[in-house]
Amino acid sequence: MATVIASIALGLAVLLNLVATVKLVRSDFETPLQRVLQIVFIWAIPFIGSIIVIAVLKGAYSDRKPRSDSGSSGDGLLAGSDVALGRDTSHHGSYGEHSGFDGHGGDAGHGGH
């Protein structure tokens, strides 16, 4: 009976590791060195290694996948964002030291727009 359970567990581990390995090889998010290290991680730590790699790949894919909003024009931009409204935000990498919530960075008094 113990050998049957061990065989099933081993089979599941191999299957899960194969799925994780195939997903990793087909992904384009990692460098070749990262792929090799993750493959070693998958096979060195059965179950846990493959589950972690699959979860990371899924998270990386969902971060890069454009989100579509049913009310948007389909251009991948969030409605109401500065880019969607045509505002020039190139000189405001972020709201810096002259923080203003109007999207102008509070620089209107410093020769701003």
What the block records as the tokens of 112 is 């701003």
Q: Is there a contact between 105 and 113 (Cβ–Cβ < 8 Å)?
A: no
Alpha-helical (H) ranges within the chain are 2-26, 32-44, 48-64
26 vs 80 pLDDT, higher one: 26
| pLDDT of res. 94 | 47
Q: Give the integer Cα–Cα distance in Å for 77 and 66.
A: 9
Q: What are 83-106's pLDDT values in tens digits?
A: 444 555 554 444 444 444 455 555
What the block records as the tokens of 97 is 């030291």
Q: What are 5-50's pLDDT values in tens digits?
A: 999 999 999 999 999 999 999 988 788 999 999 999 999 998 999 9
Q: What are 51-76's pLDDT values in tens digits?
A: 999 999 988 877 766 655 555 444 44
